[in-house]
Structure 1
Amino acid sequence: MTLIYGHRGAKGEAPENTLVSFRKCLEHGVTRCELDLHLSRDGELMVIHDPTLKRTTGRRGKVAEHSAEELRSYDARLGGPGWPQPTPIPTLAELFEQCPFEHWQLEVKSASRERASRTVKAIHALTERYGLADKVTVTSSSRVVLRALRHWAPELSRGLVAEYAWLDPLKVAKQYDCDLLALNWTLCTPERLLKAQQQGLHVSVWTVNEPALMRRLADFGADSVITDFPGLAVETLGLA
Structure 2
Amino acid sequence: MTLIYGHRGAKGEAPENTLASFQKCLDHGVHRCELDLHLSLDGELMVIHDPTLKRTTGRRGKVAQQNAADLAGYDARQAGPEWKQPCPIPRLAELFEQCDFEHWQLEVKSASRERAARTVQAIDKLARQYNLLERITVTSSSRAVLRALNHLTPDISRGLVAEYAWLDPVKVATQYGCQLLALNWTLCTPGRLAKAQQQGLHVSIWTVNDTALMRRLADMGVDSIITDYPGRAVSVL
Question: When the two structures are superposed, what TM-score results if normalisation uses the length of structure 1?
Answer: 0.98
For 1:79 and 1:226, the matched residues in 2 are separated by 19
Partner of 2:51 in structure 1?
A: 51
Count of aligned residue pairs for this structure pair: 237
RMSD: 0.3
Looking at structure 2, the residues matched to 107 and 89 of structure 1 have their Cα atoms a distance apart, in angstroms, of: 16
Moved over 4 A (4+): none
Q: How does 1:1-240 map to 2 (within 5 A)?
A: 1-237=1-237
Look up the SS of the partner of 1:105 in the other structure: strand
In 2: Cα distance, 1:79 partner to 1:183 partner: 24
Could you tell me how far apart the structure 1 residues matched to 2:166 and 2:230 are? 30
Q: Post-superposition shift, 1:147? A: 0.2
CA distance in 2, matches of 1:158, 1:32: 16
Q: Please give the secondary structure, in 2, of the residue aligned with 1:123.
A: helix
Which letter does structure 1 place at the counterpart of 2:33?
Answer: C
- Distance, in Å, in 2 between the alignment partners of 1:2 and 1:135 is 18
Give, in angstroms, the shift of residue 79 of structure 1: 1.5
Amino acid of the residue matched to residue 78 of structure 2? L
Matches of 2:191 and 2:159 in 1, distance apart?
Answer: 20
Q: In the aligned structure 1, how far is the partner of 2:52 from the partner of 2:79?
A: 14
The one-letter code of the counterpart of 1:182 is A
- Give, as a single letter, the amino acid of the residue that structure 1 aligns with 2:131: G
Runs of 5+ unmatched residues, structure 1? none
Distance 1:73 1:178 in 2: 35
- C-alpha separation in 1, matches of 2:199 and 2:79: 39
CA distance in 2, matches of 1:138, 1:213: 26
Opposite residue 72 of structure 2, the aligned amino acid is R
> Partners in 1 of 2:82 and 2:201 — Cα distance?
37
3-state SS, counterpart of residue 107 of structure 2: strand
